[in-house]
Amino acid sequence: MQKGKVSEILSLIKTREGRKQFFEKYREIILYLVFGVLTTVVSIVGYIVFRAIFPNAQSVPEQLSWIFTLTSRFGIESNTILPNILSWILASTFAFITNRIIVFKSENKTFGKVLLEALRFYASRLSTLLVDVVLMFLLVDLTGFHAGWYELLAKVFTNVVVIVLNYIFSKIFVFSKSRKKSSEK
């Protein structure tokens, strides 16, 4: 950020009217960051809860045991993939609802348009889930560091990467204003 831009922002937020102008100017980014942090909290808390419920392959229901065999082909048992996927489902659903209604203020009301929006949203989130799973596998499972704080810091780091990618995908691919204008024609 340029020095002049920082000075402009600092002078804006000194007064009530300035803060209002600042929020109006940067509303979408501010709300995305707020709900991104909340989505991260949902993801991390969900991960911790699901990791406690499914600490190892023996604790997983038969229908989901195939997930643990994915990494066993590499000679490594992954205890992070299932909790990561379940926390992703929880966090992505929270993010879709808040992004659609509050952040990007989607005006799509018909079932078909909302469904298309949801499909685009979950498709983009699936790509960042892959990034999340690969990073967690590399940082935790492959290194063998399954210690509490290290694993939590790894999860926070992967969520920062994912938040940035998700904003870019949501802005350009899912809730794009130009996409709305072209679909109205």
In a domain, 5, yes or no: no
Over its C-alpha atoms, the chain yields an Rg (Å, rounded) of 20
Please list the rounded mean pLDDT of every run of 10 residues in the chain (185 residues).
Answer: 73 85 89 90 93 85 79 71 88 94 89 93 92 89 80 88 88 72 48
In a domain, 96, yes or no: yes
Give the domain extent around 178: 27-184
Number of domains in the chain: 1
Burial of 104 by CB count in 10 Å (0-12 exposed, 13-18 middle, 19+ buried)?
buried
The DSSP line for 65-87 is: THHHHHHHTTT---SSHHHHHHH
In a domain, 16, yes or no: no
In a domain, 13, yes or no: no
Q: Quote the pLDDT of residue 35.
A: 93
In a domain, 82, yes or no: yes
Euclidean distance between CA atoms 163 and 42, whole angstroms: 13
DSSP state of 143: T
Cβ atoms within 10 Å of 93's Cβ, excluding its own: 16
In a domain, 7, yes or no: no
In a domain, 134, yes or no: yes
In a domain, 2, yes or no: no
Which of 1, 97, 122, 4 lies closest to 42 in space, CA to CA? 97
- pTM comes to 0.74
